[in-house]
Amino acid sequence: MIRWNVRIPLLAAALAVFVSGLAAPPATAELLLPRPSPKAVVTQTIGLADFTVTYSRPGVKGRKIWGGLVPYGEVWRTGANEATTFVTTGEATIAGKKLPAGEYSLYTLPGEKDWTVIISNEKGAWGSYTYAKEKDAHRFPVKPTSAPHEEWMRFSFANLTPSSGDLLLNWEKLQVAIPIEVATHDQAMANIRAAMASVKADDAATPYRAAQYLFSAGVEQEQAMKWAEQAVATKPNYFNLSLLADMKMKAGNSKEAIATAERALKAGKEDPDKPDTKAIEAKLAEWKGKKS
């Protein structure tokens, strides 16, 4: 009896190992292969927001694309593999509608003459198989135009300004443009006023940068002058004085502009970091010449 009590558990254990070996799936090695439609990422800063499109690039490969590989009247992932993603780090206006910062899927509905662009709140989808209209954040019509042949589908940004740009889709001999706008000045001013509200007494850089932005943008010049004077009062260095001199000259006060430029030149010559003073020297010569 003792011998049987020992053998039975041993036999049961052996059978369990054998059965589990039969049930286990065969081991598979990790196999990395190139995708027929390689992944691509394009990023562009417009104003204070970054826009990133992540997609896969199918090739024409001699096929009929529009109305063939990409059917008309069906929602398209706008690429291959996973649905194309569109990310913005700041609020933007896309084709006339405000879109909050966030991650979206970018679908399209191609037609023979007109397309519809769909920006969806859906994330992480494969293709357009799970597309649902109720998840749309924005949809709008676009009219495609003819373009030079593009073998591999490509997204790019063009027609850039400080507050706008176009996201372009090119493939085969077709181009679609998606207009993007950003309230750059409003966002910049909000940032400036927040920074100036808490600026420290020894901080000359913040009012200098605020004044420089306004002066370059050609807006709120009286406020720009005040901030430039604040920067000079805090630290009368070459850069602060040069900016103030430019402002005074633009305001029509040539006498004060020349005096301020001379102070800037003196500060630059005395600065141990030796800034390049050629610009203010040239301006002084020009301004004095006009005065005489």
Q: Report residue 36 as tokens.
A: 């027929």
Q: Is the pLDDT of residue 267 over 90?
A: yes
Number of domains in the chain: 2
Claim to verify: residue 190 and residue 172 sit in the same structural domain: no
**Mean pLDDT, to the nearest integer, of 48-71?**
97
Claim to verify: residue 46 and residue 166 sit in the same structural domain: yes
Q: Is the pLDDT of residue 192 over 60?
A: yes
The torsion angles phi and psi of 120, rounded to 5 degrees, stand at -110, 145
Claim to verify: residue 158 and residue 214 sit in the same structural domain: no
203 three-state secondary structure = coil
| Average pLDDT of the residues of the chain | 90
The pLDDT value given to residue 31: 87
The pLDDT value given to residue 24: 56
Q: Report residue 175 as tokens.
A: 């181009």
DSSP code for 198: T
Q: Are 148 and 173 in contact (CB under 8 A)?
A: yes
Q: Tell me whether residue 173 is in a domain.
A: yes
Q: Is the pLDDT of residue 38 over 90?
A: yes
Q: Are 141 and 109 in contact (CB under 8 A)?
A: no
The CA-based angle 98-82-104, given to 5 degrees, is 15
Of the residues 134, 163, 181, the one at which a domain ends: 181
pTM value is 0.79
Range of the domain at 64: 39-181
